[in-house]
Amino acid sequence: MGYRSPKEQELLSNFADFILAHDLGDTHLHAPDTQAQNEHGQIKTQDLNKLESMLKSLLNDRTTVEDFMGALLSQSRHQLDIMPLDQPWEADELAAWLQDGGVLHKVSGLRALYHESQPTMAYINGETFKVAAHQTCLVVSLCDTDMIHYDEDYDSASLSLITELVNKGYWYCDE
């Protein structure tokens, strides 16, 4: 397992935070057929079922759960040793440097994950990066290895993503 195993409490708390941060689940219980009741303190079974259904609807949304889990599990538990760059890289100069034999190294402790069923999404340090279907080899390389070497299959979008990650300090070059 390339990530830590969270507790149930942590999952629930972080899922609620994720829902709020992404403005999901902003649905109000709508029950126009509900009659006024004499038992003001009673929670009716049908109301409880409707409320439970509202809670479960987000948990049953596979895309939401995958994005949440990817973001949560890729967050580092410790401060990463990210060194700020003196000058950000441009994609073309980084591509040339890699072609000349340069190797990029993943920062120690950085978590980069992808779902087996969705290899076009990379979750790196809590962030989500989507790539085209033909770029899944890049996602696998970013997540399953500690070094990035030049690959002739990297197109401009791949190099742009690699450049973004280097400029964020997630990968660095040994110059």
- Condensed to tens digits (0 to 9), the pLDDT of residues 107-152 reads 999 999 999 999 999 999 999 999 999 999 999 999 999 999 998 8
Q: What is the pLDDT of residues 60-103, one digit of tens each?
A: 999 999 999 999 999 987 888 888 888 999 999 999 999 999 99
pLDDT of residue 28: 75
* Of 6 and 33, more confident: 6
Euclidean distance between CA atoms 113 and 139, whole angstroms: 8
Query: Given this model, what pLDDT does residue 101 score?
Result: 93
pLDDT (0 to 100) of residue 31 = 64
Could you tell me the CA-to-CA distances from 79 to 56, 74, 107, 142 in Å, in that order?
34, 13, 11, 20
Q: Where are the alpha helices (DSSP H) in the chain?
A: 8-21, 45-59, 62-74, 91-99, 136-144, 156-167
Most distant pair of Cα atoms in the chain: their distance: 80
Position of tokens 């829902």? Answer: 19
Q: Which residues make beta-bridge pairs with 173?
A: 104
Q: Give the bridge partners for 104, in sequence order.
A: 148, 173
